[in-house]
Amino acid sequence: MNADHKRGTIVAVCKNDKPGLPKIEVESIQLFKNHGVVGDYHSGELVRHRYLAKKDPTKPNLRQVLLIDTNILAMLSQLNIHLRPGMMGENILLEGIDLMSLSLGSQIVVGEALLEITEIRNPCNQLEAIHPGLEAAAKTTGSGPDPRNAGMLARVLRGGWVRPGDEAYVRKSAGLEF
């Protein structure tokens, strides 16, 4: 990973206590360890994703926080898909860190909180209600062996407050400490 993509800034924070899109941009969010964003539908120790919860509601929730970076919005904008913060369902919108280049298990500090990347987000058909063609674009506009470009899911290792303007940085990636 390029040194230029290890540090960034929080652009927006979002949450919604109901399932579905979009999430609502707010002034700050509070994250709890092994829980997620306070007041967000997807927070909790056990899986909250509706499809996964139907399969096995006793599994741990590894999808507590959704992060996307402004590179994703810029790529979509080139396809004439213009989105505001929260429209892709993200809890945290970052600038300056290429999230899609991070490996699973990477740790990222956002404001006071520490997150661990648990999976690449698989875009779903709910994105189509936000903008026609968004689901397909989020599945194919990335680079590398996995073309998905819809953000990264994470779990909370250390809780804390996160606000726009807060610093974000990669603390650990692919077994390397920074």
For the stretch 97-130, pLDDT in tens is 999 999 999 999 999 999 999 999 999 899 999 9
Q: What's the rounded Cα separation, in Å, for the pair 130 and 177?
A: 38
Q: What is the pLDDT of residue 64?
A: 97
- pLDDT tops 80 at residue 169: yes
Whether 40 and 15 have beta carbons less than 8 Å apart is answered as: yes
Q: What mean pLDDT, rounded, does the chain reach?
A: 91
Lowest mean pLDDT among 41-55, 68-82, 127-141: 41-55
Q: What is the pLDDT of residue 82?
A: 97
**Alpha helices, H only, 38-130:** 50-55, 70-78, 127-130
Q: What is the pLDDT of residue 1?
A: 41
CATH topology of domain 3-177: M1 Pyruvate Kinase; Domain 3 (2.40.33)
Residue in the block written with tokens 């929080």: 10
Q: What is the pLDDT of residue 2?
A: 41
Which is higher by pLDDT, 176 or 130?
130
Whether 13 and 36 have beta carbons less than 8 Å apart is answered as: no
| Peptide bond between residue 164 and the one before it cis (omega within 30 degrees of 0) | no
Q: Give residue limits of the domains in the chain.
A: 3-177
**Mind giving me the DSSP string for 85-111?**
TTTT--SEEEES--GGGSPTT-EEEET
